[in-house]
Amino acid sequence: MVYPVYSRRSGGLSIGINLFPDNKHCSFDCPYCEIFPFKTDIIFNTETMQTALASAVLEAQQNSIPIKDICFSGNGEPTMSSHFMQAVTEAESIRAGLVPEAKLVIITNGTGLLDRRVFEFLNTAALSNLDLHIWLKLDAATEPWYQRIDRSNIPHGELLSRIRDFAATFSPFTIQTMICKVKGVLPPPVENTAWVQFVTELAVISTKNDSTEEYMNLRAVQIYGKARPSPEDPLAETVPAAILNERADLLRVALKKKEITTAVEVYE
Ligand code: SF4
């Protein structure tokens, strides 16, 4: 339910909150997914999470280990849990009280944005003083690659449209994209081009200019490769770092043309 872990993307200790201790629950079926099949009788409840989270924070502090973030992820898509909103609110209260220097992160595949209540909750939380960091998965900008790498029944066009709507609210967010081979095939050039265009569009529509300042609400784009084993190996395969860097460079060029300085990061 609550688990400390070293996170390569955070660069330090991340305290994870898993809303699905019983089984995997996800609206995607990514072939690179690292969740191995399991089943338990453990039922999530917010009170137990609060106690476990406070203990994990205090233990790290007693051992002088800096906490980079408290992160909702693990065993599926967190926005699918009926406890999601309450758990985020309670975790934020613990973060603010015990470890205000840590971020509160939600890793989501974005499908929750199709639910109006989740969309509004994330939008309000991201714009409030909750200091919420939304890391939004965007593995595919074309339908064929989406069906290959995310294997979901959620209509791809609707998903992209809601992500676009979310960016237009000026909520700060980060894009995360996995690049790997699936069934021996790399993302094709048409996917690379569509992805660069779509992410650039998100960066443009989420940039807010007021009279004194410019806000880049697309905080970062994280491109990462397959680094851990998956139950479906070798269906998805790691690709050379050069492929990740090539995609990152394409995006950097496109963003530069629009004078957008969002960081494009690569994690091999
Ligand atoms: S979105 Fe995440 S949890 Fe869901 S299948 Fe993909 S990798 Fe696994």
Q: How many helices (H) and strands (E) does the chain have?
A: 7, 12
State the pLDDT at residue 216.
83
Pocket of ligand 1 (CB under 6 A): 26, 28-30, 33, 35, 76-77, 109, 137
State the pLDDT at residue 10.
72
Question: Whose structure tokens read 């090539």?
Answer: 246
Kindly give the parts of the chain with pLDDT less than 50. Answer: none
DSSP 170: T
Q: Which residue, 186, 243, 247, is CA-closest to 221?
A: 247
State the pLDDT at residue 211.
65
Distance from the CA of 208 to the center of ligand 1, in angstroms? 31
State the pLDDT at residue 213.
66
Nearest atom within ligand 1 for CA of residue 32: 7
Q: Which residue, 155, 156, 154, 145, is CA-closest to 182?
A: 145
Helix (H, G, I), strand (E, B) or coil at 12: strand
Q: pTM for the complete prediction?
A: 0.93
Phi-psi region of 236 (alpha: psi -120 to 50; beta: other; left: phi over 0): beta
Angstrom distance (rounded) from CA 45 to CA 169:
31
Q: Which of 71, 106, 108, 109 to mutate to test the pocket of ligand 1 (most atoms within 8 A of CB)?
A: 109
Angstrom distance (rounded) from CA 205 to CA 202:
5
Q: Whose CA is nearest to atom 8 of ligand 1?
A: 33
Domains, the chain, with CATH or none: 2-267 (3.20.20.70)
Distance from the CA of 88 to the center of ligand 1, in angstroms? 19
Nearest atom within ligand 1 for CA of residue 27: 4
Inter-CA distances, 109 with 101, 137, 152, Å: 26, 5, 11
